[in-house]
C-alpha cells in the first residue's frame, strides 16, 4: 500500500534545502546535492505549474548555485 500523498495540479511545495533536499553536512561548504535532485525538482516544477519553492537558512545566491541551472523561488536566511 502506498500512503504517499498524491500531487494535484493546484498544490504548491515549499521544500527545506538542508536536511531535506540535501544531507546535512558538518560544514556548509561540504554540502553536496545528489545528481537526481535538480532533475526531480524540474519535473515537480513542471507538474505543479511552477509552484515549487525552496526555504533555507542560507543566502538565496547559494541555493541558486547548488541547484544550477535551475532557479526556483526561494526564501533565504530564515531564522535570523
Nearest-angstrom CA–CA distance, 78 and 80: 6
The active-site residue, picked from 3, 16, 18, 64, is: 16
16 catalytic residue (yes or no)? yes
- Any idea which residues carry the catalytic annotation? 16
Amino acid at each position: 500500500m502506498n500512503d504517499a500523498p498524491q500531487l494535484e495540479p493546484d498544490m504548491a511545495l515549499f521544500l527545506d534545502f538542508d536536511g531535506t533536499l540535501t544531507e546535512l553536512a558538518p560544514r556548509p561548504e561540504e554540502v553536496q546535492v545528489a545528481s537526481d535532485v535538480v532533475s526531480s525538482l524540474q519535473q515537480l516544477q513542471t507538474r505543479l505549474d511552477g509552484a515549487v519553492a525552496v526555504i533555507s537558512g542560507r543566502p538565496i545566491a547559494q541555493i541558486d548555485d547548488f541547484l544550477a541551472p535551475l532557479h526556483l523561488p526561494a526564501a533565504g536566511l530564515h531564522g535570523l
